[in-house]
């Protein structure tokens, strides 16, 4: 394989890529979102500067992907934190667990999504929408929401889905250091809201060393939503270089 072919492939492994290197389109992407109040000190230990926290809130989300270009259906769960970067309100991507290796690799390599493997589920049972997350055989999260309890304004649902998101992109070098350490920003703009609901909800988190969602404890459930969408992911753009900051401080 010639050097120009190596560069053109730009995937691992070169001859058997696990994801297409292009924008991903989701059809029937279903969300269960539970926003809750947590311990502010615990939150400050996990949100990196220069992001700022106005209120000690966390959003636990479970996303069931009905159909995804290049990946097929899968389920994802995790935590995001409402934050502010300069004058912009957004969300910090704290943790993501999913049951699809290709989507895990693509999220980490093409963007800055903090994805690891897990076993999330989203289903209806006895009048409730239920979202769960297991790590191995251990249950680490259970969210329940009254099923299609009250319609949610589609404009509000769209605002929830299109909030700017921030993550930390880390690429190690070959000596134990870092080649890249950036705060990056992305925002979904191509989205169609098909259904949107709100209602009462509950959330239970269990401590697990490899899936420490309970480190941000649930003190009070603030709101919940159930949203069905079609959307396309947008590329990430670096907004802050931690390595440059360190070099200038040296």
Of 167, 208, 166, 221, the C-alpha closest to 38 is: 221
- E-state strands within the chain: 25-37, 57-68, 74-85, 88-98, 115-117, 119-125, 128-135, 138-146, 150-151, 165-172, 178-186, 190-198, 201-205, 220-232, 237-241
Q: Give the max Cα distance, the chain.
A: 60
Asked if 231 and 192 touch (Cβ cutoff 8 Å), the reply is yes
Number of alpha carbons in the 13 Å side-chain half-sphere of residue 166:
23
Question: Does the CA dihedral 214-216-221-225 come out positive or negative?
Answer: negative
Burial profile 148-175: b = 16 or more Cβ within 10 angstroms, e = fewer: ebeebeeeebbebbbbbbbbbbeeeeee
Return the CA Rg of the chain: 19
Q: Is 148 a residue of the active site? A: no
Q: Distances in Å between the alpha carbon of 117 and those of 78, 96, 202?
A: 11, 8, 24
Query: Active site residue: 115, 148, 169, 194, which one?
Result: 115
Looking at the annotation, which residues are catalytic?
A: 115
């Amino acid at each position: 394989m010639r050097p120009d072919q190596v560069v053109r492939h730009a995937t691992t492994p070169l001859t058997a890529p696990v994801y297409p290197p292009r924008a991903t389109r989701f059809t029937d992407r279903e969300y269960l979102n539970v926003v809750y109040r947590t311990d502010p000190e615990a939150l400050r230990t996990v949100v990196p500067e220069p992001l700022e926290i106005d209120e000690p809130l966390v959003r636990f989300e479970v996303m069931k992907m009905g159909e995804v270009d290049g990946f097929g259906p899968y389920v994802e769960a995790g935590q995001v934190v409402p934050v502010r970067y300069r004058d912009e309100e957004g969300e910090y991507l704290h943790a993501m667990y999913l049951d699809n290796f290709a989507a895990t690799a693509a999220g980490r390599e093409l963007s800055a999504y903090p994805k690891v493997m897990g076993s999330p589920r989203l289903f209806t049972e006895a009048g409730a929408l239920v979202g769960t997350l297991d790590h191995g055989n251990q249950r680490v999260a259970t969210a329940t929401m009254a099923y299609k309890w009250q319609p949610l304004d589609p404009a509000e649902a769209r605002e929830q889905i299109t909030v700017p998101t921030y993550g930390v992109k880390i690429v190690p070098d070959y000596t134990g250091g870092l080649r890249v350490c950036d705060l990056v920003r992305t925002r979904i703009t191509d989205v169609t809201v098909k259904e949107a609901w709100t209602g009462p909800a509950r959330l239970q988190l269990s401590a697990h060393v490899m899936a420490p969602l309970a480190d941000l404890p649930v003190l009070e459930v603030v709101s919940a939503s159930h949203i069905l969408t079609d959307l396309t992911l947008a590329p990430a753009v670096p907004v802050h270089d931690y390595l440059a900051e360190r070099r200038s401080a040296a």
